[in-house]
Structure 1
Amino acid sequence: MASDRPMVSAENPATRALEALIDRLHARGRLRVWSLVITIFGDAIVPRGGRVSLSALQDIMARLRIEPGALRTAMSRLASDHWVTRERQGRNSFFRLDEHGRHAFDLATRRIYASGPPAWTGRWTVALAPPGVDEKTVSELTALGFLRINGAVHLRPETADAADAGDALSGMLVVHGESAEHPEAFRALWPSEQIGDAYRAFVDAYRPLADALQGGRRMTPLDAMTARTLLIHDWRRIVLRDPGLPLALLPEAWPGEAAREIARDIDRLLHEPSENWLDAAGLKAATAGRERFASV
């Protein structure tokens, strides 16, 4: 359940834009708080050692109008599902990412922060699954960039940075090839309109915040961290449903790159104040690693 909407300064369009985004979050219906926590871990906590206090998470959730009880329930679920482990230090609680969770983040990170569509090598991989393949395997193949053409056939255009799919393809008939007639027909094999609409909605929702920040409006460190969380959460929700096709196989006038540009610009402008908040919240200094929205 959300708490009451706070008073908003009418003088700062960046703050108004953030409130509209929080309204949008709650308008979707019942919140999956655990999913928001996963976003925070992957985006902000993992690069800083993977450990965060419950109080720091509570501060972000309170700004998102999410009650402490909902957060505690989410953390219990994540611990039960082996995403996080809980540690006590005196009267304080801390959560650390489990190794199971770290593996899942490593796979998703490349897609979330990519600078653009991957380069196609011209090769294809076709995997024929045996009868009764479980949905967990199907989900893993989707995360690896495969499209499920029907119940048994999975197809992936190979790219230079494609993740190794050997384990997921175990027990399947796998065919590799370099040629295909009319590869543009590939566009008809996946739900591009649904994902395209999601990208267009993302642009419409985040353009006011982008305009405000590009116009020089500033946000408090907590507001910047909150806006960053929403930005990456909404971006992640789309990108991880998008198979991440090479540019040559995308529909014309594909809105994904306009959405990526807005995500990149907002993330860049929020980076310093949000990192200042993480410093003040007592997280470890960020380690050298991936560049955000840069080539991976």
Structure 2
Amino acid sequence: MPESARTARDTLRETLVHLGGAPLQGGLYVCANAWEPYVEEAAHRLGAHGSLTLLTTTDLRRGDTQEPAELARRLWPLQEIADRYHRLGRIARPRLARLTGPAELSSSALLTIAVELAAELTRAMEPDPLLPPQLLPRPWPGTRAREQIAQCWAALYERDQGEARPVLFRLYADITREAADRATR
């Protein structure tokens, strides 16, 4: 993109990272997931679609590194993301205990727990490129932390009977629905 479109270029680059992309070099990004429709939509919105080049490959090498899991480790900040998920788990565990315990919880206590969980889930997931499991270290803390959040969300929904569920939290219900279904089976 030309220098005259710097703002659009910078915004598109931020969008690529937000969508899970990792910069390879000067304007070249890679993603482990199919993201073309989202990238094209962003480029159209920014008036940059004419400058966009898309390429797919299953043969990526950086230097001598070509093993997919090692490439992922080098391209994305997996340890930082793992640390955020560890924190999410530390936050979720005591809240899950409160939500599944016998003590009564007021609507304001339920809302407080929901806000705390939503904030920590956002903090953990925003930098996560959601790589396929085969590219992640095992065990991946994100899997367990998201399951704990889903259990919390299911318990929160059961506790509040819809009274304290702001529309804002529907976003988080979508994120955790699958794990919540597994947790309640």
TM-score by length of 2: 0.71
Aligned to 1:232: 118
Q: Does residue 1:190 correspond to 2:76, yes or no? A: yes
Q: Does residue 1:172 correspond to 2:46, yes or no? A: no
Aligned to 1:245: 131
Q: Structure 2, unaligned stretches of length 5 or more?
A: 44-48, 61-65, 179-185
Structure 1: distance between partners of 2:101 and 2:135: 36
Percent identity reads 23
Structure 2: distance between partners of 1:206 and 1:294: 16
Letter in 1 for 2:54: V
Equivalent in 127, 138, 142 of residue 13 of structure 2: 138
Deviating 4+ runs (over 4 angstroms): 129-133
Moved more, 161-170 or 226-235: 161-170
SS in 2 for 1:149: strand
Tell me how far 1:205 sits from its aligned partner. 2.2
Aligned to 1:209: 95
Aligned to 1:258: 144
* Aligned CA distance change for structure 1 residues 292 and 154 (closer, same or farther; 3 Å): closer
Letter in 2 for 1:144: L
Flag the structure with higher strand content.
1
Structure 2: distance between partners of 1:164 and 1:154: 14
Letter in 2 for 1:173: T
Flag the structure with higher helix content.
2
Q: Quick check: 1:199–1:255 contact (8 Å CA) kept in 2?
A: yes
SS in 2 for 1:176: coil
Tell me how far 1:220 sits from its aligned partner. 0.8
Q: Does residue 1:221 correspond to 2:96, yes or no? A: no
Tell me how far 1:243 sits from its aligned partner. 0.9
Larger RCO, structure (CA 8 Å, separation 6 or more): 1
